[in-house]
Amino acid sequence: MAVERTLSIIKPDAVAKNVIGKIYTRFEDAGLKIIASKLVQLSQADAEGFYAVHKARPFFADLVKFMVSGPVVIQVLEGENAVLKHRDLLGATNPKEAAAGTIRADFADSIDANAVHGSDSAENAANEIAYFFASSNVYSR
């Protein structure tokens, strides 16, 4: 199994609930290393650029509005099969459909406020990581 990197964002709802540490513990317990991390308030342009792939979708405006509604925590996770492993930890996009014990089942309220973003492929992960972090601020270990 290849060592991969993925981009993870703890969204405003989970930051507001004060569960950053609980979510980080789940990553660490699954063998994912946090190799870059920052707490930031995204601008409208940051959020629109990040979600540009969803620009034509009906939920785009609400998604961007939600992502700028408060600070987020952005991290790069590294480990074997990191992209899929992280998405398995998150569970289904809609928390009502997320399996018991997943992050979204335990911490998310709705399909909009669904606690954490995760890259959906290694290729998209590389682009998303570069969008938020200079390579000099990613510390593989």
Rounded-to-integer distance, Cα 42 and Cα 15, Å? 13
Residue closest to Mg ion when measured from CB atoms:
120
Binding track, positions 61-100, relative to Mg ion; x by CB under 5 A: ----------------------------------------
Q: What is the 3-state secondary structure (H, E, C) of the chain?
A: CCEEEEEEEECHHHHHCCCHHHHHHHHHHCCCEEEEEEEECCCHHHHHHHCHHHCCCCCHHHHHHHHCCCCEEEEEEEEECHHHHHHHHHCCCCHHHCCCCCHHHHHCCCCCCCCEEECCCHHHHHHHHHHHCCHHHCCCC
Q: Taking CB under 6 A as the criterion, which residues in 36-95 touch ligand RTP?
A: 54, 59, 63, 93
* Residue 29: CB minimum distance to ligand RTP, A: 20
**Which residue's CB is nearer to ligand RTP, number 38 or number 139?**
38
Asked whether position 12 contacts ligand RTP by CB under 6 A, the answer is no
Q: Are 70 and 16 in contact (CB under 8 A)?
A: yes
Q: Which residues are catalytic?
A: 117
**Which residue's CB is nearer to ligand RTP, number 59 or number 139?**
59
- The amino acid sitting at 38 is K
- The stretch near ligand RTP (CB under 6 A) out of 29-37, 78-86, 110-118, 125-133 is 110-118
Q: What does DSSP say about strands 116-118 and 72-80: parallel, antiparallel, or unpaired?
A: unpaired
* Residue 118: CB minimum distance to Mg ion, A: 7
- The contact set with Mg ion (CB under 5 A) reads 120
- The contact set with ligand RTP (CB under 6 A) reads 54, 59, 63, 93, 111-112, 114, 117-118, 120
